[in-house]
Amino acid sequence: MTHMEDEVDMVRRLSDAIVTSTPRRPTRVIQFGEGNFLRAFADWQVQQMNDADVFDGGVAIVQPLATGRVAELDKQDRLYTVLLEGSQASTHEIITVINQTVNPYDDWPGFLHLADDALTCVIISNTTEAGIAVDPSDTAETVPPHGFPAKLAHLLRCRFQAGLPGFLILPCELIDDNGPALRRAVLECVTRFGWGDDLAHWIASENRFCSTLVDRIVPGFPADRAESLWASWGYQDSLIVKAETYGLWAIEGTAADLACFPVHRAGLDVVLTDDLRPYRERKVRLLNGPHTMMAQLGRLVGLRTVREAITDPDIRDFVVAQMLDEVVPVLDLPRAEAESFAREVIERFENPSIVHDLDAIALNSVAKFVSRLLPTIKANVAAGRGLPPRTCLALAGLLTIYLRPDGVVEPIDLPAVIAAFTAADGDARMVMANASLWGEDLTAIPGLAELILDDLALIESDGVRPLLRRFK
């Protein structure tokens, strides 16, 4: 028997064991995204809801991009394992809630048919920060459309035409006010496609777009120890998702809003609030910001993972100082609360069980810089504190990688973003002035372009590590 035949056989035996003991539940959730995060967070939470008898539902996963992993899920009968590891203990669980997968690039009618099930009432998405944006090339005739908002607009149009109730929509993309942002993007598509005021009114009034904040570090597949896990568990799983035990879902809404998806009643770390901003600000600026910073500077000094970075003395001192000296003072939170959260984040980064690749964090770094680090630069300037030098050095690191890829540290981003950097032909000032990349002209921030150009020259002449050490 070949290795591939052996793998398929082991998965089949696992499927047989699970199917005989797990009831098939009605599909109540449509999920845009099949990546590691949603599988280790949202799908895992749906399973906990079912186990707690507060929900009775399965998930239909939509592959949002032409290249994706739904075929891999189907190969394993949509079963996979979530491995949760803390500093003291670990657990694993086979996730059984995925009822079907749809690749709209191969099966557009099947995608639209998801709107026809009256029992389906929730839409969850995580299409990265860059996903909640209208693709200018999409038209009413583009099938499938390129952008996520246009795909969702098509689905909602079918729902409207079927005369069925609207959805609870929970976007997990890490941008400000992601609920209203997604609603605006969908309505923009409706207007551009000429689909009429009645549909626009129904989308705005009959669908609840709740802003959310999600927080769980999800490194993904544990390639370094997969075979030992398979031997221990007695089955082979090519889609294991490893994550930390911590997992917060903050939702801007009420219990009434979540009547059809009562995740807050499952004993999980779920917060319902009328103001998501404090939760989002501390998480984005004190966890995701340092993550993105390490993905630039850590890779430039030859480091591979978050834990390698946070245990490197130069990176650790730099990151801790950035959090405490450049982020905490400009957060709209009590300083003691912000510092306490920062210390918890450092402990999470140090978790020896979590191997989080910096390459994975570096995906779509430009959009991540805009949402995670640029606000810290602007807040310091607005507060009269001047340019935060460590946060600015992260931008210089990003520009070094994107403008001068060396074959070792490469940019990992959307084709249009890469094309914009290529067109700049090494001109950092031209790139910084490109508002289509950053949402604004960064050269308009007093002194920023000059500081970045100085840092770029120093990185080119001396490397990154001496710059890290200059702050000690």
- Residue-level pLDDT at 88: 72
pLDDT given at position 11 = 58
Residue 10: predicted pLDDT: 57
Mean pLDDT by 10 residues, the chain (472 residues): 47 63 88 96 98 98 94 95 87 96 97 98 89 92 96 98 98 92 98 97 98 93 92 93 94 97 97 92 93 96 94 96 97 92 92 87 94 96 97 97 87 93 95 96 98 96 94 80
pLDDT of res. 9 = 56
Domains in the chain, ordered, with CATH? 3-273 (3.40.50.720), 277-469 (1.10.1040.10)
Identify the pLDDT of residue 19: 59
pLDDT score, position 13: 62
Q: Which pLDDT score is estimated for 1?
A: 30
The pLDDT value recorded for residue 137 is 94
To the nearest 10°, report the CA torsion of 252, 253, 257, 259.
Answer: 90
